[in-house]
A and B are shown apart, each in its own frame.
Chain A
Amino acid sequence: MLSIQHIHKAFQLHTVLDHVSVEVPEGQVLAVLGRSGCGKTTLLKTLAGLLPPDAGSIKWAGESINEVPPREREMVYLFQEPLLFPHLSVFENIAYGLRVRKTPEAEVQSKVQSMLRELELQEHAQKKPDQLSGGQRQRVAFGRAIIFLPRVLLLDEPFASLDAQTRSAMQKLFLRLARKYGITALFVTHDVKEALLIGDRFAYMAAGKLTLYRSKEAFMDDPATGVQEELAFWNSIEHNISTNDK
């Protein structure tokens, strides 16, 4: 289990994370909803070890990992934009984590081929990232992140730059792979629908404070999350259409 206790982070006088505490059981996806600038990215970067917290502790299976460098945390941070290594082919991008761990070549070949099939990217294996579409790049970034089964995936609005159709396809792909590989993840998004679709657990973040909900219903009922507002909008649209039809 990933356990975050009283994480505090400030940049000069501006508090970005205000004593954030949350627990994510293994194999579950915590959807964190929040608007731009609420501290979501800082939270993920702190968990990945890319930013040191001012206070608080991060534990995995009961052991503190505050002092563990990013490369040993086994927590992969996925940026908003799919950051692929531009000089490497799709195959080598996906194989990166395995090569870092000095996995035997035969195993690299079989795992990467299997992942390429999973991502439906077999025919693009030898292409360079600049020859792929946005959705394909994001799929490669996913494959590269989960191929060596890290402890935790930290996803920073990974589908924000995709069009609605590709976004929907990626959400389904993520859910399928998350279930298949039992992925533990923190999925940050500003999209209410995406949070509801992806998450097993739900949290809302505003001004550096994180609120964890007991259930999906509690998350939906809280006016701060905007779920009720969204529902009201769609209800009004539906109502207008049915009134016009009459």
Chain B
Amino acid sequence: MLRKSLTVILASAILLPFLFFTVLSVGQSWFYPSVLPQRFTLANWQQLWSGQSELQFGLVRSLILGLGVAILSTLLGFIISKEIALAKYKNRWLLLAYWPFVLSPVVLAIMVQRFFLLTGMSGELIGVLLGQLILAFPFAVIFFQSFWSREVLQLEQQSQTLGASAVYTLRHVLLPLAKSLLLICFFQTFLISWFEYGLTQFIGLGKVKTLTILVFKYVNEANIFHAALASLLIMLPPALLLWANKKFVFRGI
């Protein structure tokens, strides 16, 4: 009974905002004290799919950044965390990985902004991608530390003495063992990029308009219907990823 109630509460907490934003995204002219908007239209949605719309570009930009950051940080994090696990001064390197989190992302953005200005990457998608990697990559490195245990490193050595090459060991031993962690890390780093605001705004100079940036822009403009649509789009990929990983996420509720 308790389990069922918890599942209902959790499902409602996830689904209700979707319902609310969906209604809002198809609404027009909503004035106090009306409970619902006075008119309903698909104009906002049509605008999204018609091309050349700010929202469509924002969605594509966010997807490129999210996937790019997730792929790069997961792969690099997996490789570098192994090197750190084998390093003589493992804790020193790990301390370095914590550095971006000790500083806040905004302070970090101020510190690295000069580099992006000098290299001409300020205001560019590539600059924002690198900026977001400053957060996502150390996260992945720290995340994979738990994977490179003594046992996993010994399994790798065992595979080598049984005659396997490094590539064979990676494909047939390490990747299958790390599969669930790789998925979770991909998911988490995608979300880091997807919801990132401070670094994106600072390095992107307001020119790289991701969905998160657009939500804030529409809210500032009091454009609640566009803000609702943008919010809905922001919530959609994480919800899909959550659904895909439901057996890990909802396990033990």
Interface residues of A (CB under 8 A from B): 48-50, 69-77, 79, 83, 85-87, 96-97, 99-101, 144-145, 148, 154
Nearest Cβ distance between residue B88 and chain A, in whole angstroms? 10
A50 and B151 contact, CB distance less than 8 A: no
Instruction: Give residues of chain B (156-198) contacting chain A, Cβ–Cβ below 8 Å.
Output: 157-165, 168, 172-173, 176-177
10 cross-chain pairs, A with B, having the tightest CB-CB distances, nearest first: A70-B160, A77-B161, A100-B163, A97-B162, A100-B164, A87-B176, A83-B158, A71-B160, A76-B161, A48-B161
A71 and B154 contact, CB distance less than 8 A: no
Residues of B within 8 A of A99 (CB): 172
A74 and B173 contact, CB distance less than 8 A: no
* Closest A residue, CB atoms, query B158: A83
B151 and A76 contact, CB distance less than 8 A: no
Assess A71 versus B155: contact at CB under 8 Å? Given A85-B173, A100-B168.
no
B161 and A83 contact, CB distance less than 8 A: no
A71 and B161 contact, CB distance less than 8 A: yes
Nearest Cβ distance between residue A81 and chain B, in whole angstroms? 8
Q: Give the docked Cα–Cα distance between A193 and B177 (Å).
A: 38
Residues of B within 8 A of A73 (CB): 161
Q: Give the docked Cα–Cα distance between A98 and B173 (Å).
A: 15
Nearest Cβ distance between residue A79 and chain B, in whole angstroms? 6
Q: Give the docked Cα–Cα distance between A83 and B156 (Å).
A: 10
Q: Contact check: which of B157, B176, B177 meets A70 at CB < 8 Å?
A: B157
Assess A83 versus B151: contact at CB under 8 Å? Given A50-B157, A77-B157, A100-B168.
yes
A85 and B163 contact, CB distance less than 8 A: no
Q: How many residues of B contact A (CB 8 A)?
A: 17
B163 and A97 contact, CB distance less than 8 A: yes
Q: Give the docked Cα–Cα distance between A56 and B177 (Å).
A: 37
B162 and A76 contact, CB distance less than 8 A: yes
A87 and B177 contact, CB distance less than 8 A: yes
Q: Contact check: which of A50, A83, A87, A148 meets B163 at CB < 8 Å?
A: A148
Q: Contact check: which of A50, A83, A87 meets B160 at CB < 8 Å?
A: A50
Assess A145 versus B154: contact at CB under 8 Å? Given A85-B173, A86-B177, A87-B176.
no
Nearest Cβ distance between residue B152 and chain A, in whole angstroms? 10
Instruction: Give residues of chain B (124-178) contacting chain A, Cβ–Cβ below 8 Å.
Output: 151, 154-155, 157-165, 168, 172-173, 176-177
Q: Give the docked Cα–Cα distance between A154 and B195 (Å).
A: 53
Q: Give the docked Cα–Cα distance between A100 and B170 (Å).
A: 12
A74 and B154 contact, CB distance less than 8 A: no
* Closest B residue, CB atoms, query A74: B163
B177 and A71 contact, CB distance less than 8 A: no
Residues of A within 8 A of B151 (CB): 83
Nearest Cβ distance between residue B19 and chain A, in whole angstroms? 41
Residues of A within 8 A of B161 (CB): 48-50, 70-71, 73, 75-77, 154
Nearest Cβ distance between residue B85 and chain A, in whole angstroms? 16
Nearest Cβ distance between residue B93 and chain A, in whole angstroms? 20
A71 and B163 contact, CB distance less than 8 A: yes
Residues of B within 8 A of A48 (CB): 157, 161
Residues of B within 8 A of A72 (CB): 163
Residues of A within 8 A of B168 (CB): 100
Q: Give the docked Cα–Cα distance between A27 and B151 (Å).
A: 31
A145 and B177 contact, CB distance less than 8 A: no
Nearest Cβ distance between residue A91 and chain B, in whole angstroms? 14
Q: Contact check: which of A76, A83, A96 meets B154 at CB < 8 Å?
A: A83
Residues of A within 8 A of B160 (CB): 49-50, 69-71
B164 and A85 contact, CB distance less than 8 A: no
Residues of B within 8 A of A100 (CB): 162-164, 168
Q: Give the docked Cα–Cα distance between A69 and B176 (Å).
A: 24
| Contact sample, A vs B, 19 pairs, CB 8 Å cutoff | A48-B157, A50-B160, A50-B161, A70-B161, A71-B160, A71-B162, A76-B161, A76-B162, A77-B157, A77-B158, A83-B154, A83-B155, A83-B158, A85-B159, A87-B177, A96-B164, A144-B162, A145-B162, A148-B163
**Further pairs besides A85-B155, A101-B163, A144-B162: 9, Cβ < 8 Å:** A50-B160, A70-B160, A76-B162, A83-B154, A85-B159, A85-B173, A86-B177, A96-B159, A96-B164
Residues of A within 8 A of B176 (CB): 87
Q: Give the docked Cα–Cα distance between A79 and B176 (Å).
A: 21
Q: Give the docked Cα–Cα distance between A140 and B234 (Å).
A: 50
Residues of B within 8 A of A96 (CB): 159, 162, 164
* Closest B residue, CB atoms, query A87: B176
Residues of B within 8 A of A69 (CB): 160
